[in-house]
Amino acid sequence: TNRTFTMLKPDSVEKGNIGAILEKITASGFRIVAMKLTHLTTQDAQAFYEVHSERPFYGELVEYMTRGPVVAAILEKDNAVEDFRTLIGATNPDDAAEGTIRKLYAASMGENAVHGSDSDENAAIEGAFHFSGREMF
Ligand code: ATP
C-alpha cells in the first residue's frame, strides 16, 4: 500500500463536481487518508508549479490555481501514484481516455480539474505541505 496526493482544482469546486469526482476516486479503490477545502496563495501556486516557471502559461496557471478554493487530499492504495495518474487521464482532456476524470470533468489543458502527484517523493512532499500528522488517518 502507498499514497498519493491530489487537488481537485478550482474549476472542479466552481462547477460543483467535487462530490462526483470523490465518488469516482473512492469507487476506484482509493482510501481518503486526509482531506480539506483550502485556498492556495500566489506564493503556494508559484512554488507548486516552479518547474513550469519559464513556460508561457505559468502566469495563467498560477491565476487559475489561486482563483478559488481547492480540495486537497492524501489517497492510499496499492500503486497509488501510477494508478491515480491512470484514473485522472492525460493532462489535455482531448487526449484523455474515456471514463477518466479529466475526460469527464476537465474543460481544457489549462483547466483540467485535478492534480495527481507524479512520484512517491513528490506525493510525500505535497501531502506534508498541506497536512500535519494529526490530520492524516
Ligand atoms: P498536474 O501537475 O496538475 O497534475 P500534469 O502532471 O498532468 O498536471 P504538467 O505537465 O505537470 O501536467 O503541467 C501542470 C499543469 O500545468 C497542468 O495540469 C495544466 O493545468 C498546466 N499546463 C501544462 N501544460 C500546459 C499548456 N501547454 N497550456 C496551458 N496549461 C498547461
Query: Which numbered atom of ligand 1 lies nearest the CA of 91?
Result: 7
- Per-residue DSSP letter, 119: S
104-114 pLDDT, tens digit each: 999 999 999 99
Q: What residues contact residue 106 under an 8 Å CB cut-off, 6+ apart?
A: 11, 89, 93, 96, 112, 113, 114
For residue 130, what are the CA distances in angstroms to 30, 80, 94, 124? Answer: 19, 18, 30, 10
Q: What single letter denotes the amino acid at residue 123?
A: A
- Sign of the alpha-carbon torsion through 26, 28, 33, 35: negative
ipTM above 0.90 for this complex: yes
Domains of the chain: 2-38+71-135 (3.30.70.141)
Ligand 1 centroid to Cα of residue 134, in Å, is 31
pTM greater than 0.95: yes
pLDDT tens digit sequence for 65-120: 999 999 999 999 999 999 999 999 999 999 999 999 999 999 999 999 999 999 99
- Using CA atoms, how far apart are residues 20 and 78, in angstroms rounded to an integer? 22
